[in-house]
């Protein structure tokens, strides 16, 4: 009996130690898989805490959110840290009736306002194509709106409430007139790096000449997209991947932030985001 009690106590100690050996992460759903991809290299380098993604967990150690470039004020006792840059690209149904013209002519960044925001017909562009605009009033939409200097309250959505990005993508693939905006982690297959079936990225006319030149067509592959955005510092609608953590824990967590900045680029880029370095 004594040995059994000792074993139970020992097991409890080990269990407690294991429970303490992690950072629970909650927040924006499409961000959470990235933290789990950090785990293997962190473990190989001897970090004692790994990340565990949790859903809607108010007691999580870390909250990961897509935010505008200008961070909102953190609540008292907490610190916000930007870890990566997230771009947002216009996406249409592959079978849109005007897909050939859309891919040939593309769209200017400022023209996105006329499609995605109400009462913006005076923005200098009236779409020649018909679109059913599907959006979510989530944190990614806040970043997208902020970049375009628009109020998220005027963001168009021609569909009832869309609860998550998976449903949004599914709706776009089923509606030939659909258009939305998504980040690369939702656009590209994580394994192949190619655009997911049923959707097409609407290219941006960067030089505003009314056509997509060969050097403006870099969206078919995630790796090509990220390399081009990095090389030429192309500014597309974007925001940040931001983590919020208590100031008490931040001193310890800072070594994780330093690791992400020094060695995390390949993982961040493979996920579809851009390093902040």
- Residue 206 maps to which CATH number? 3.40.190.10
User: Is residue 131 located within the same domain as residue 188?
Assistant: yes
User: Is residue 47 located within the same domain as residue 108?
Assistant: no
Domain that holds residue 180: 89-232
Give the model's pLDDT for residue 34: 97
User: Is residue 75 located within the same domain as residue 127?
Assistant: no
User: Is residue 134 located within the same domain as residue 223?
Assistant: yes
Give the model's pLDDT for residue 168: 96
User: Is residue 173 located within the same domain as residue 207?
Assistant: yes
Residues 67, 240 contacting (CB under 8 angstroms): yes
User: Is residue 247 located within the same domain as residue 165?
Assistant: no
Residues lower than pLDDT 50 in the chain? 1-2, 4-20, 122-124
Beta bridge partner(s), residue 239: 86
Give the model's pLDDT for residue 73: 86
Query: What strands lie across the sheet with 62-67, from one edge to the other?
Result: 50-53, 22-27, 62-67, 238-246, 78-87, 274-275
User: Is residue 120 located within the same domain as residue 209?
Assistant: yes
**Residue 99: is it exposed, middle or buried by C-beta count within 10 angstroms (0-12/13-18/19+)?**
middle
User: Is residue 226 located within the same domain as residue 95?
Assistant: yes
Q: Which of 212, 232, 252 is where one domain is finished? A: 232
User: Is residue 30 located within the same domain as residue 123?
Assistant: no
Give the model's pLDDT for residue 128: 57
| Domain tally, the chain | 2
Give the model's pLDDT for residue 13: 38
| Residues constituting the chain | 277
User: Is residue 77 located within the same domain as residue 207?
Assistant: no
User: Is residue 96 located within the same domain as residue 223?
Assistant: yes
User: Is residue 138 located within the same domain as residue 269?
Assistant: no
Would you give the DSSP letter of residue 96? -
Give the model's pLDDT for residue 19: 40
Give the model's pLDDT for residue 127: 57
């Amino acid at each position: 009996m004594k040995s059994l009690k000792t074993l139970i106590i020992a097991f409890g100690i080990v269990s407690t130690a294991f429970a303490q050996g992690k950072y629970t992460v909650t927040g924006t759903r499409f961000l959470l898989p990235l933290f789990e991809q950090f785990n293997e290299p962190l473990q190989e380098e001897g970090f004692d805490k790994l990340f565990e993604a949790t859903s809607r967990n108010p007691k999580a150690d870390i909250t990961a959110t897509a935010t505008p470039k200008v961070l909102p004020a953190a609540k008292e006792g907490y610190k916000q840290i930007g870890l990566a840059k997230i771009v947002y690209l216009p996406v249409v149904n592959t079978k849109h009736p005007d897909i050939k013209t859309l891919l040939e002519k593309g769209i200017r960044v400022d023209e996105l306002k006329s499609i995605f925001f109400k009462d913006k017909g005076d923005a200098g562009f009236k779409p020649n194509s018909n679109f059913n605009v599907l959006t979510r009033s989530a944190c990614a939409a806040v970043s997208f709106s902020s970049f375009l200097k628009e109020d998220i309250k005027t963001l168009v959505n021609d569909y009832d409430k869309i609860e998550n990005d998976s449903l949004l993508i599914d709706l776009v693939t089923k509606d030939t007139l659909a258009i939305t905006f998504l980040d690369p982690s939702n656009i590209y297959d994580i394994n192949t790096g190619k655009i997911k079936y049923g959707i097409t990225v609407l290219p941006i006319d960067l030089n505003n000449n009314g056509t997509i030149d060969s050097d403006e067509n870099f969206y078919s592959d995630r790796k090509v997209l990220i390399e081009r955005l990095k090389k030429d510092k192309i500014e597309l609608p974007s925001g940040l991947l931001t983590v919020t953590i208590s100031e008490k824990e931040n001193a310890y967590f800072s070594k994780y932030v330093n690791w992400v900045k020094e060695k995390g680029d390949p993982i961040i880029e493979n996920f579809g985001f851009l390093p902040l370095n």
